[in-house]
Amino acid sequence: MKTGKLSETILKRSVLGQIKQHREEVLKGAGVGEDCAFLALQSSRDAFDREEGAAATATAVSTQTVALPVRNAAYLAVMAAANNVAAGGGRPVSVMLSVTLPEETEESQLKTLVGEAERCCRDLKIQIAGGHTEVSGNVKCPVVTATVIGTADRLSEQMPEAGECHPRRDIVMSKWISLEGTCILAKEKEKELLERYPVRLVNEAKAQEKYLSVAIEAETALSFGVFAMHDVRYGGVFGALWELSQKTGMGFDVDLKKIPVKQETIEVCEFFGLNPYEMLSGGALLMVTGDGAGLVSALEEAGISSAIIGHANCGNDKIVRNGEEIRYLGRPWQDEIFKIPYRE
């Protein structure tokens, strides 16, 4: 199998196909594009009332792993899991951190790694509640797994019935694509980038880390009213659009030129020969709504840049337009971030 996120085919055949519903407390569990589980940890499923204004809450849980040999791996793992919870409609509260270290790891490196996780927790106002740390000769770099736990008043998506047709809905995307991949490459490959680009551009690329949380836009969108949300990460915006289509049962028609991208990202991707539309894009959130202009306005008031990039519909086609050129999007492949060699 290829490095990176498991392909959808293998995921369905060897993972999801074996997972069955055994507990009524699991309100929403594993699925393609489903990155956050919801649990009703009361005496029965009925304790979680989905009616508007209900006081009962669910527990939201999401897990993410970062196995890239990069300096801020723990920060990225915690942020990714927290974003999954936020995109699902939850509010992150705490994180369980699991770390597997290579045998040659120095204690100072472990201290730095945990410090990165704690820095992310401070940024998100959540807390490390526990976890596990071990050393193994079977890994070449630290492998960090973060399980973020939060609360939710209701599920964010009102999922369509199978085969049910829905009217055209706008797809809104917050911020810019490839923020996470850009800041990783700018930090890990700073020396190479500075051979071509000015210090200002490289520093701005590294500073894209400040945009990685989707908590504000998720909360704003949930209050505004959305049909579905999905945070963009592995596979870039193309991968996220595919997963959004799989979990809503809707097709889409997107204009490539309307997808926001920063100039620093364009330059960094050009330098390494990468496709920014298929690169690690933590920090961006896809939202499906009947009133895209209204949502963009609400997000602007909350201080979040966003744009309507296309629309979802009740068809099956997954269309990306670039002027007169039309592309039918296929299943996502390996993320572009894995094409670059990193330090061990």
pLDDT in tens, 140-161: 999 999 999 998 875 544 444 4
Closest CA to 264 of 256, 276, 255: 276
Given this model, what pLDDT does residue 146 score?
Answer: 96
Given this model, what pLDDT does residue 32 score?
Answer: 54
293 half-sphere exposure, CB direction, 13 A CA radius: 0
Given this model, what pLDDT does residue 174 score?
Answer: 98
Look at the chain and count its residues: 344
pTM value surpassing 0.75: yes
The burial of 132, by beta-carbon neighbours within 10 Å (0-12 exposed, 13-18 middle, 19 or more buried), is given as exposed
Strand partners, 284: 232
Given this model, what pLDDT does residue 162 score?
Answer: 38
Given this model, what pLDDT does residue 320 score?
Answer: 96
Given this model, what pLDDT does residue 99 score?
Answer: 95
Given this model, what pLDDT does residue 48 score?
Answer: 46
Given this model, what pLDDT does residue 29 score?
Answer: 62
| Low-confidence stretches of the chain (pLDDT beneath 50) | 43-45, 47-48, 50-55, 156-163, 344
